[in-house]
Amino acid sequence: MTAPAQTTATIIPCLRYRDAHAAIAWLQRAFGFQQQAVYAEGDIVHHAQLVYGHGMIMLGSVDNASEWGRYSVHPDEVDGRQTQTACVIVANPDAHHARAVAAGARIVIDIADQPYGGRGYACRDPEGYLWWFGSYDPWAGHAGGA
């Protein structure tokens, strides 16, 4: 297993999946997330928390009738386009890339050194969400900015 970077995260991306139980299992197998909590009734996941190092994502089942669900769309409803993505800092992007590929992640930007530092790649999960995994850690004192 590829060890996550030891950094601080304060923003938690939230995702909705058509088959949330399958997504939880795949995200663990492909990306190395660990299940922290899952609140479900049968096939419906009301809320789940998955952690990676000090980072977390939350997810649940697609529910377009709920108050929150009316403000969100699933990637398959907008031709796979995204309005935001998750960026996950990993200690060994090459090993992480190999794990994701072995689990069936669809690579959309191949792994490469980045001009701003670090090494990373982008992929889609089985339901079309776009992910970036790389070693660039903005908490590690990189210079730059306005």
Q: What's the CA gap between 136 and 89, in Å, rounded?
A: 7
Taking residues 126-136, report their average pLDDT.
96
Taking residues 54-68, report their average pLDDT.
91
> Poorest-confidence range of 15-19, 57-61, 70-74, 87-91?
70-74
**List of domains in the chain:** 14-140 (3.10.180.10)
- 63 and 74 Cβ atoms separated by less than 8 Å: no
At 146 the pLDDT is 46
Query: In this model, does residue 145 exceed pLDDT 70?
Result: no
Q: Which residue has the higher pLDDT, 94 or 65?
A: 94
At 9 the pLDDT is 65
pLDDT digits (tens, 9 = 90+) for 116-129: 999 999 999 999 99
Helix/strand/coil for 117: coil
At 48 the pLDDT is 98
Strand partners, 133: 88, 121
Query: In this model, does residue 5 exceed pLDDT 50?
Result: yes
Cβ neighbours of residue 12 closer than 8 Å, sequence gap 6 or more: 55, 56, 57, 58
Backbone angles phi, psi at 70, to 5 degrees: -65, -15
Angle between helices 93-102 and 20-31 (to 10 degrees): 140
At 23 the pLDDT is 98
pLDDT confidence tier of residue 83, bands split at 50, 70 and 90: confident
At 67 the pLDDT is 87
